[in-house]
Amino acid sequence: MPPRKLDAAAPGFERDFQAFLGRNREADENVDRVAGEIVADVRARGDVALLEYTNRFDRLALADAAGLRITDAERRAAAATVPAHQREAIAFAAKRIEAFHRALMPSDVDFVDSTGTRLGARYRPVDSAGVYVPGGTAAYPSSVLMNIVPARVAGVPRIVMVVPTPDGLVNPLVMLAAEIAGADEVWRIGGAQAVAALAYGTASIAPVDKITGPGNAWVAAAKRRVFGQVGIDLIAGPSEILVVADGRNDPAWIAADLLSQAEHDASSQSILVTDDAAFADAVVAAVEAELRTLARAEIAAASWRDNGCLIVVPDLAACAPIVDRIAAEHVELAMEPGPAEALAGRIRHAGAIFIGRHTPEAIGDYVAGTNHVLPTSRAARFSGGLGVADFLKRTSLVSCTPESLAALGPAALALAEAEGLGAHGRSVSIRLNRRG
């Protein structure tokens, strides 16, 4: 069954588009309730609760809490089994991710203004970061790199990785990525219980200051619950891709791009925006053909059928407002270089933009160097992807001389008086009166 199709020139488009934007692909309230109960339980019972949940959800019975940690020797042994070509690919990706994120490092600011007041800002890393890596049905060494490498570049002293290992199976690719990226600790825990352990700590696991990384609905719900106790990167929802494509593309290329996100999860979303209705039909046919070749065809087909969308517009050059309202995680512009660059310049809301016919989104997932931990569910309207800044804190610096305090003081006194905060004003006036 093909996905829904919208025509931007049709009279009812605005109503139908609003309904499309308002559809909820997130988990239900029951997930939040259960995640909250797990978080509270781990906070109260620590390692004992972790052992019980690991047995229950991952079918892994451990004798004691010491078994929750994947030792350095164990992960090195697993990493050593990775074939050379995969080892080289992970190392290649790690170098590119590091280079890009080093370019994002902010510089400290320190200057003296016209009043003689010294002003500045300095960036310092958090003391510890917890990185959640999905496990189970798929292995994501790329997620290890995308989270740990920026933390290392930022200078975080302690990086803790958690990853579920159902039935006790440790994934060699994930262990190799942890070695290359530089994880200090790796624990075989997952789900809401892992988030709770990172946030509140247990007898075995020291708490962290920030938690990053994608996970399932229970992980996302747990991150919401612990925010404030710790920092978090973002609440990751189902994956998304929006492809803007003209009719001169190969439909098979665009079909493959749309399915690259649909295969993640049945709740994922793939959207095609085109100015050619016949091309849209050709892409639908190409998706059907491509689905017959995919290992995760059932998942991808459900995503495409239930959440996919074709939007036909009169003019691709003028489609930026539609793209911005969707504010997708990934936006591909499969057009000629000139029009693609021009459209990219007009798009304001997107997690990441991939420009040109030869830039599939999957390059960003793995080796471009940019980060694939990106805002979903229209959150690109107000946030961006994971980067070094997520592991840094900015501290402001202020230093007055007697002369600069005299220049700033009267305005401060006036504002303190207006706000009715006498001690604020007194802390300034007492110094002005004693000046000299």
Enter the DSSP assignment of 390. G
Ordered DSSP codes for 274-333: ES-HHHHHHHHHHHHHHHTT-TTHHHHHHHHHHH-EEEE-S-GGG-HHHHHHH--SEEEE
Among residues 240, 263, 264, 330, the one annotated as catalytic is 330
Q: What is the spatial distance between Cα 336 and Cα 342, in angstroms, rounded to a whole number?
A: 10
The Cβ-side half-sphere exposure at 372, using a 13 Å CA radius, reads 25
Side chain identity at residue 95, one-letter code = K
Q: What is the spatial distance between Cα 160 and Cα 189, in angstroms, rounded to a whole number?
A: 12
Q: What is the spatial distance between Cα 272 and Cα 328, in angstroms, rounded to a whole number?
A: 12
3-state helix, strand, coil in the chain (%, to 5): 50, 15, 35
Ordered DSSP codes for 278-293: HHHHHHHHHHHHHHTT
Active site includes 417? Answer: no
Ordered DSSP codes for 368-389: SSS------TTGGGT-----GG
Side chain identity at residue 221, one-letter code = A
Active site includes 330? Answer: yes
Among residues 329, 332, 349, 361, the one annotated as catalytic is 329
The Cβ-side half-sphere exposure at 211, using a 13 Å CA radius, reads 31
Q: What is the spatial distance between Cα 375 and Cα 306, in angstroms, rounded to a whole number?
A: 21
The single residue listed with the structure tokens 């510089």 is 107
Nearest CA among 200, 204, 186, 199 for reference residue 232: 199
Report yes or no: 161 and 183 within 8 Å, Cβ to Cβ.
yes
Q: Which residues are catalytic?
A: 329-330
